[in-house]
Chain A
């Protein structure tokens, strides 16, 4: 059985998913790719917007989420932390 993801792992997964789509993505892509329920996803997206990691953009009646510089930076730092955690076995 897969281990439950921590909050930070979920945040990283969401941000990484947006990054993989050139930093701009529709909510449905995050919903399918993030492996989260709609309610939980909504909660995380609000938190990420409030934290300045992503921005919400409306274009021709469609909603997009865009990764900010802070979001990109978080991805890089979290990757390093993950590498360190793996390397040192902590």
Chain B
């Protein structure tokens, strides 16, 4: 039995309605990630280049992770998870742990995939090594929220740098939006460091994440709307 302090998951430092707002933000993450992954899938289906495959995988994993997280969040807020904990039936806790693991590992593998899209790593047959070590780190981050967020921030920092370089190539406004979106996601993970000192950073982090998702949504709307840069 894993000795995780699940009580921490159920304590509310903020009004309950705020956690529902967070669930809404995570749901937006699901919609945006799956929408982007769908375009990536169509691109890979037609063009068959590896970069589109990893792009598709990245946002698909991100969408699945957000889905797992929002499901877990709703279960906790509705009180079902507490039922499982109080009953102390380990088998009932498996779905909760499973969802949480999917979220942790899925997010990190998603960032590795996206980093592979922009870097030269995709050309190497050693990419599987990055996935493997990310999986290992993911397994151990279950006990350590800080480790998960710092590892994610490190991966995202590379993505932010790559996308900023891409923006500098031709000053495409859509590329700037993409870079800023990933920067928001980077700050979302980085500000966990400050959350332990000032709980208000939980609100700030999620607000920044919402901004990042809206930026991605804006880019998506330009793609589907057929608007040029």
A residues at B contact (CB < 8 Å): 6, 8, 74, 77-81, 83-90
Chain B residues numbered 101-139 whose CB sits less than 8 Å from any CB in chain A: 117-118
- The secondary structure that dominates the A interface is helix
Question: Per a CB cutoff under 8 Å, which of B42, B117, B169, B223 touches A87?
Answer: B223
Closest beta carbon of chain A to B110's beta carbon, Å = 14
Taking CB atoms, residues of chain A closer than 8 Å to B226 are: 79-80, 83
The 9 lowest CB-CB distance pairs between A and B, nearest first, are A89-B166, A87-B174, A81-B43, A83-B223, A89-B175, A84-B39, A87-B219, A88-B178, A90-B51
Asked, given contacts A80-B223, A80-B224, whether A87 binds B43 with beta carbons under 8 Å apart, the answer is no
Q: Is B177 an interface residue (CB 8 A)?
A: yes
Q: Is B229 an interface residue (CB 8 A)?
A: yes
Interface size class of B (residues with CB under 8 A): 20 to 34
With contacts A87-B219, A89-B178 known, what are 20 further pairs, Cβ within 8 A?
Answer: A8-B46, A77-B46, A80-B223, A80-B224, A80-B226, A81-B39, A81-B42, A81-B46, A83-B174, A83-B223, A83-B226, A84-B36, A84-B40, A86-B172, A86-B174, A87-B178, A88-B55, A88-B175, A89-B118, A89-B162
B229 touches A81 (CB 8 A): no
Docked Cα-Cα span, A88 to B39, in Å, equals 12
Closest beta carbon of chain A to B218's beta carbon, Å = 10
Docked Cα-Cα span, A6 to B42, in Å, equals 17
Asked, given contacts A80-B39, A81-B39, whether A89 binds B163 with beta carbons under 8 Å apart, the answer is yes
Taking CB atoms, residues of chain B closer than 8 Å to A81 are: 39, 42-43, 46-47
Closest beta carbon of chain B to A73's beta carbon, Å = 11
Closest beta carbon of chain A to B105's beta carbon, Å = 24
Taking CB atoms, residues of chain A closer than 8 Å to B55 are: 88, 90
Question: Per a CB cutoff under 8 Å, which of B43, B162, B163 touches A84?
Answer: B43
Chain B residues numbered 49-87 whose CB sits less than 8 Å from any CB in chain A: 51-52, 55
Closest beta carbon of chain A to B171's beta carbon, Å = 12
Taking CB atoms, residues of chain B closer than 8 Å to A87 are: 172, 174-175, 177-178, 219, 222-223
Chain B residues numbered 147-173 whose CB sits less than 8 Å from any CB in chain A: 162-163, 166-167, 169, 172
